[in-house]
Amino acid sequence: MDQVKVVIFDCDGVMFDSKRANEAYYNQILKRFNKREMMNEDECNFVHMHTADESVAYLFRDDPSLREAAQAYRRGIDYLPFIPYMEMESYLIPFLEYLRPAYNTAISTNRTDTMKHVLSSHGLEGYFDLVVSALDVQKPKPHPESLHKILRYFKITPQEALYIGDSEVDQAASEAAGVPLVAYKNKRLSADYHIEHFKELEELLN
């Protein structure tokens, strides 16, 4: 912990409980094309971890004729009505205030064009030095490109960063980048640390 200079956050499942928002968002797309009323459990888990393009492709994997139309429709949807469904994790803001200015902070997320609205709607714009979304890389997570980009930006080694993630996608990205993983509310992940609350990580850093 003495080496840590940058703390990197995943968005969905770490900063926010966004399952309700994601489910409402993708269920609207399914209903628009008369696929069905809602996603099944496997689909809900998939869209929680992957990019919007990957998620729509997965939802329409059995109907290639509708896939492009669904992608076009998805790009035209205003995400703002879904943001109120996102619940900010408790103690996130106090933890961010604790980190700064002693540590730099960043986000590595598979969100795309919705990330700016998510941060602004919850008053979080000023808390992060760098945000890397799926739009900022050629290969999103589980590929380590987003973490590599953050390491280069701050000119640090992998051991000088911590990545807080909650999914297998985050685990794969952190392992490939060599960045220590803090597993958030997911004891099934192989990680350097497991926490259930940001206060626990604050105590570890102390």
Residue 67's CB is within 10 A of a number of other CB atoms, namely: 17
Residues 32, 95, single domain; the answer is: no
List of residues 6+ apart from 99 with CB closer than 8 A: 7, 105, 205
pLDDT at site 72 = 94
> Residue written as tokens 């105590």?
203
Residues 73, 118, single domain; the answer is: no
Domain of residue 199, CATH code: 3.40.50.1000
pLDDT at site 44 = 93
Residues 60, 153, single domain; the answer is: no
Residues 153, 62, single domain; the answer is: no
- Say if 1 falls within a structural domain: no
How confident is residue 36, by pLDDT bands cut at 50, 70 and 90?
A: confident
Say yes or no to pLDDT of 118 above 90. Answer: yes
The closest of 45, 71, 76 to 60, measured between CA atoms, is 71
Higher pLDDT residue, 109 or 62?
Answer: 109
Residues 113, 63, single domain; the answer is: no
Residues 108, 169, single domain; the answer is: yes
For 142, half-sphere exposure in the C-beta direction (CA atoms, 13 angstrom radius) is 10
Could you list the residue range(s) of the whole structural domain that residue 38 is in?
19-83
What does residue 165 show for φ and ψ, rounded to 5 degrees?
A: -135, 170
List of residues 6+ apart from 25 with CB closer than 8 A: 77, 79, 82
Residues 92, 117, single domain; the answer is: yes
Residues 28, 11, single domain; the answer is: no
Tell me the whole-structure pTM to 2 decimals.
Answer: 0.89
- Say if 195 falls within a structural domain: yes
Residues 74, 147, single domain; the answer is: no
DSSP collapsed to 3 states, 121-176? HCCCHHHCCEEECHHHCCCCCCCCHHHHHHHHHHCCCHHHEEEEECCHHHHHHHHH
- Count of structural domains within the chain: 2
- For the stretch 15-34, pLDDT in tens is 999 999 999 999 999 999 98
CB 104 within 8 A of CB 5: yes
Residues 124, 191, single domain; the answer is: yes
